[in-house]
Amino acid sequence: MENREQMRKRHEAEIEALEKNCLHVKLSKWKDYSWAPGHLSGRVKVCKNCGKIIKRDKRPGPDSSTIKEGGKWKYLIVTTAT
Ligand SMILES: [Zn+2]
């Protein structure tokens, strides 16, 4: 029998393989993303097949990954995978 750790590793490897072989064609709508409960950090689009985050945008603000345009902070859309 597999123990918990072995099972977790196997699932991780399977998910990794799924992401690698996936073309990420169908994306979800923009949805709120939080890195921890109650900590919203922007919005993401995920692949409907493998669940990988494909696009991410950040809340406007003084942050290295956002841009200021015409005096206003703008969302910067970052493509995290192709
Ligand atoms: Zn995918």
Residue 13 Cα to ligand 1 midpoint, Å, equals 15
**11-65, pLDDT tens digit by residue?**
999 999 999 999 999 999 998 887 777 777 778 899 999 999 998 887 655 554 5
CA distance 81 to 59: 20
- pLDDT, residue 74, reads 64
With 90 as the cut, is the pLDDT of residue 75 above it? no
E strand or H helix that includes residue 72 = strand 72-74
Contacts of 5 (CB under 8 A, 6+ apart): none
Q: What is the token pair recorded at 55?
A: 């696009």
- pLDDT, residue 64, reads 47
With 50 as the cut, is the pLDDT of residue 68 above it? yes
Residue 62 Cα to ligand 1 midpoint, Å, equals 31
Q: Which of 24, 77, 68 is nearest to 46 (CA)?
A: 24
